[in-house]
Amino acid sequence: MKLIFLFVIGQFNFSGNLFYDFWKLKYEKFTPSGIKKVYGERYFANISLFPKFYFLEGDFEIRYINSPKEIEFIYGENIEKIFRKNIKISKENFEIEFFDIYKSFGKGILAGFVRDENILLERFLRGFSSNLKIGIIDFGFTYGRPYEYLYYSRNSFKDTLDEFKITEVKINPLPGIEFGLYHSFYDQNIFFEPDKKRAEFLGYVIDLKSGILTIYEEYSRRKGIDKEIPSDTLPYSFSKGFANYTQIIFSIKEFTISGEYEKYKKYSTPYSYPPCIHPYGISLSNGRDEEGYALNFLFPLYFFDFDLNFSKSFYKDKKIEEEKLNLRAPIFSFLFNFTFDNSYLKGAEIKEEFKPVEKRKERSFKGKIDYSFELMTLSFGIEARKREDLIYDTLYKYTEPYYEFEIFHKSGSLSISYSKDKKKRDYYSFEKILQLPKNIELSFFYGKQRGELKCSGGICRYEPPFEGFKAKIIYSF
């Protein structure tokens, strides 16, 4: 009995992460004598556990945040405590996962059309997601609904997500060939409206891969409520829209050319944005009407790897155009990385210090040189960005420099950066990361960072400014 018990215990294992983040930061506080800059403290503790026992897998997360009320909205998280629990059962060709916070709304087949990886949670959503594979066919079904209302939003007047459902079928007749069909809906509670409103989606995906040619095509139709769609009469009228995204890649040896085309018509939703072909990741119209294309060339020449990109999005008289060249060359112990970027925006949804930018011309250069010694690697980076912004009929021209120096060693890294903005304000940072045994990482940061748009993976987010000190510990096991 003891042996059996011990054997059973031995089949149980878990991994996870412990994360603790402490900030001492400067922020603005309303006082009886006016707005003052004061120092405050913010704590963020997070434990994630992933236990496994045969066909059962768990995903548990406990999070605790404590921060001054004045900065809650700036840094986007103001729930004091979260306890999230997901349980998954997988057995051969079937799996089902029960969740109580749905962090990834939408499935892979929907690409970016009905998915927002970082959905803002207005409610805790309870539900399940299941998948069954029979031969060459994959069936998927996801359902969720809220069970407890929590105030969790930057905007207290924002509408909230209610019940949702996603059904999908994928067929994989041969390696490199995949077809998919999906249907989904979500309900939205509209602020000040008595009834829920529904948005419904129907679409297909075609994914073909051969040796030299890859074709990816996605089409989706939407009908129903979409608050972002302006209407001639009522703001929440019944409306229809569609989105189409096509990508073709042609590749021979090291030479690759790829083309993308997208078109959206009345397709925006508060919970997802279609994939953008330009780095700003923003709409040219509130109703998400947009058309665009991009061309990308990837090829080696002498020591360099060339990555050349042209993209253009447009809607009526609005547009975003960009040309970008990235060069990368490892030569002996050096690694060179240069990027030249030229872009033009007109009528895009960007703001500078809360003022709308009607037109922007931007040219930037980024250069990075790494040199590796036996025990360490030194990295020096420089960036210069030249901008011309037209705001309320006034043209603002400015150049912003940025310098960065990093040292990498097997025990960690040290990085120092300096930059100036258009008002000649200084920004600086010192960051030390220590990588200790047993997957423990300690990091310390001191400095002043500006608020700016940061783009990654086709999604752009605004990162707020920060001034102060941060200490972080991450333990992965």
Q: Which residues bind other proteins (CB under 8 A)?
A: 3, 6-7, 9-11, 13-17, 48, 50, 52, 57, 59, 88, 104, 107-108, 111-112, 174-178, 205, 207, 209, 211, 214, 216, 218, 245, 247, 249, 251, 253-254, 256, 258, 260, 275, 296, 298-300, 305, 330, 370, 372, 375-377, 408-410, 412-413, 433, 435, 439, 441, 456-458, 474, 476-477
Residue nearer to other proteins on the CB measure, 13 or 399 = 13
Residue nearer to other proteins on the CB measure, 48 or 342 = 48
**How near is the Cβ of 49 to other proteins at its closest, in Å?**
8
**How near is the Cβ of 402 to other proteins at its closest, in Å?**
15
| 343's tokens | 């872009």
| E strands, 194-271, in order | 196-209, 213-224, 240-252, 255-265
The C-alpha atoms of residue 171 and residue 78 are separated, in whole angstroms, by 42
Residue among 445, 477, 466 at smallest CA distance from 21: 445
Cβ atoms of 331 and 324 closer than 8 Å: no
**Which 3 state secondary structure label does DSSP give 14?**
strand
**How near is the Cβ of 372 to other proteins at its closest, in Å?**
6
DSSP H or E segment with residue 149: strand 137-149
Hey, CA dihedral for 143, 144, 145, 147, is it positive or negative? Answer: positive
**How near is the Cβ of 144 to other proteins at its closest, in Å?**
15
Residue nearer to other proteins on the CB measure, 48 or 449 = 48
Residue nearer to other proteins on the CB measure, 156 or 456 = 456
Residue nearer to other proteins on the CB measure, 197 or 278 = 278
**How near is the Cβ of 461 to other proteins at its closest, in Å?**
13
Residue among 231, 227, 207, 236 at smallest CA distance from 219: 207
**How near is the Cβ of 108 to other proteins at its closest, in Å?**
4
Residue nearer to other proteins on the CB measure, 177 or 384 = 177
Instruction: Please report, for residues 84, 212, 217, 272, the alpha-carbon distance to residue 141 in angstroms, rounded to integers and kept in the order given.
Output: 21, 34, 22, 19
b/e 427-443 (16+ beta carbons within 10 angstroms → b): bebebebeeeeeeeeeb
**How near is the Cβ of 97 to other proteins at its closest, in Å?**
9
For residue 69, count other CB atoms closer than 10 A to its CB. 9
Residue nearer to other proteins on the CB measure, 215 or 391 = 215
